[in-house]
Structure 1
Amino acid sequence: MERDVRQRHSSSFGAVAAAYAEHRPDYAPAAARWALESAPGPRVLDLGAGTGKLTGTLLGLGVDVVAVEPDAAMLAELRCALPAVRSVAGSAESIPLPEASVDAVLAGNAMHWFDMSIAGPEIARVLSPGGVLAGLWNVLDDRIDWVAGLGRVGGREAIGPRDTLSSWRTATAGMHLPGSGAVAWFGSPEQAEFTHSQRRTVDSLVATIATRAGILVMPEQEREATLSRIREFLASRPETSSGEFSLPMLSGVLRTRRL
């Protein structure tokens, strides 16, 4: 994704920060635990923390978390939900922490927004020797027929390649790399998926999808048409048309270590 397009998408969430906090899922604790299992200590940076979805999962594991987020509206939601967490304004490309101050850097549905030619050295700077870098993504389990159908109906802007189990490994495999010809800051990655789910209704799932960047940057008429098409599909399926249902997901993890 070109830099200006990535910036437009990544900066779109603040306008719907409250909806993001209400509707986006948290992360499977087993996924966060696996991401951290080889970290040399308990100090964890949640980078691009958003409204604190991953931060909350990390707190449940008993680690020492600091959250860094560039968007003021998203950061305000995080501070409201998790007032005891140390949270600061900053970005992956300019991390307001000292050298070697954390043992792991985790990013929940955020690493794809980083400019790794700049963020790679910054992340390496704040990591302690042997520290862990891990990206986590909540992905839809499109091995299930109706979920695969949702992806087809929503289209690439609503349900992108990082959003489904069938494609997230390929779409995220190299995201820890700083770019061709640059210094190699991190070792070879590992990937794993962990079962997860979220209780949804037709209305709340449509509201969740409406917080995706591809939807947020659409022209209003196209956005409303896409969400209407998704709503009609969900209302037509026996799995989702009658009240609350479980949305099958996995929390996928890309994990690597600082060289």
Structure 2
Amino acid sequence: MKTSSPSVHHAAAEGYQANADRYVKGRPDYPAEVADWLRENIGLRAGMTAVDLGAGTGKFTPRLVDTGASVIAIEPVAKMLEKLAAALPQVQALAGTAESIPLPDNSVDAIICAQSFHWFSTPQALAEIHRVLKPGGKLAMIWNMRDIRVSWVNKMNEIADRHEGDAPRFYTGEWRKQFPFAGFAPLEEQNFGFGHTGPVEDVIYNRVRSTSFIAALPTEVQDEVIAEIRQMVEGEAELQGKEIVTVPYQTSAFFTTKTA
């Protein structure tokens, strides 16, 4: 099994390979409304097949399992795929990339990209996704983003984002430039809000460390980033002295349908 592929951005290949454990601890779940979105908009149910593309450690995968559909998880980073396979033995876990999906033509009902499409938003990936989907199948994309309308969240993002380099990000909107795409209907969008509550070490510090471009930094630079965020947290009255905190998030969910 390969740990990376030429199509995998270096920040993802290096950062996620090195910090799969922190990814599991630091990443939030998804809002409860996602269950209805998967059922009503993506149409998932028993008897269907869904692909979790760029599945990582399987943070979103249980949401797909809960629909009753058969689930295939595809991930290029070996450490993450190993964790997914160990945690979710009922899911078929395959090494692969969005540009080379190891499945036959017209074989799946839905492909879901959770926190991943911005890494491979290319014509080659969309053509491959189109190949694998059945006619009428859905391509779904979903992202959790910290809510920067909250002042301290914005400060935390500003500290981390200084190190993003050339890593693709959802917030830039670059991924949208691939749409409209031949053979797919116009994108449809839905948004949800929720909070990620837990130990401050996980929901703030391990969450930042799990960011691809932070995880790919030398350890001493990662420590400097976390130290700066700790200093910021200590200066915020809302967070001072708290072991359990809630980080506000916004979830953006999109889907399109294979038309031809």
The interval holding the TM-score normalised by the smaller chain is: 0.7 to 0.9
Instruction: Pick from 66, 70, 88 the counterpart of residue 72 of structure 2.
Output: 66
Moved over 4 A (4+): 3-6, 160-163, 175-178
For residues 76-102 of structure 1, give each alpha carbon's deviation from its aligned partner in whole angstroms, at most 9, with x where no partner exists: 100111111111111111111111111
| Residues 206-215 or 188-197, more deviating | 188-197
Q: For the Cα contact (< 8 Å) 2:51–2:112, is it kept in 1? A: yes
The correspondence of residues 190-205 of structure 1 with structure 2, limited to 5 A, is 190-204=188-202, 205=204
The correspondence of residues 77-226 of structure 1 with structure 2, limited to 5 A, is 77-114=83-120, 116-157=122-163, 162=169, 168=171, 170-174=173-177, 184-204=182-202, 205-226=204-225
Look up the equivalent residue of 2:255 and give its one-letter code. R
Change (3 A) 1:4 1:123: closer
The correspondence of residues 215-254 of structure 1 with structure 2, limited to 5 A, is 215-241=214-240, 242-254=242-254
Displacement of 1:156: 4.1
SS of the residue aligned with 1:11? helix
Partners of 1:5 and 1:99 lie apart in 2 by 21
Q: How many percent identity over aligned positions?
A: 33
The corresponding residue for 2:10 is: 8
- Normalised to the residue count of structure 1, the TM-score between the two structures is 0.84
Partners of 1:201 and 1:82 lie apart in 2 by 25
Partners of 2:6 and 2:231 lie apart in 1 by 33
The corresponding residue for 1:48 is: 54
Supply the RMSD in Å over aligned alpha carbons: 2.7
Partners of 1:214 and 1:113 lie apart in 2 by 12
Look up the equivalent residue of 2:213 and give its one-letter code. G
For residues 148-201 of structure 1, give each alpha carbon's deviation from its aligned partner in whole angstroms, at most 9, with x where no partner exists: 22223333436x9946xxxx38454335566xxxxx232221222112221133
SS of the residue aligned with 1:250? strand
For residues 207-244 of structure 1, give each alpha carbon's deviation from its aligned partner in whole angstroms, at most 9, with x where no partner exists: 11111112123344433222211121112212223110
SS of the residue aligned with 2:9? helix
Partners of 2:124 and 2:254 lie apart in 1 by 19
Change (3 A) 1:144 1:137: same
The corresponding residue for 1:28 is: 31
Count of matched residue positions in the alignment of Structure 1 and Structure 2 = 248
- Normalised to the residue count of structure 2, the TM-score between the two structures is 0.84
Give structure 2 stretches of 5+ with no counterpart: none
Displacement of 1:27: 2.1
Partners of 2:99 and 2:56 lie apart in 1 by 15
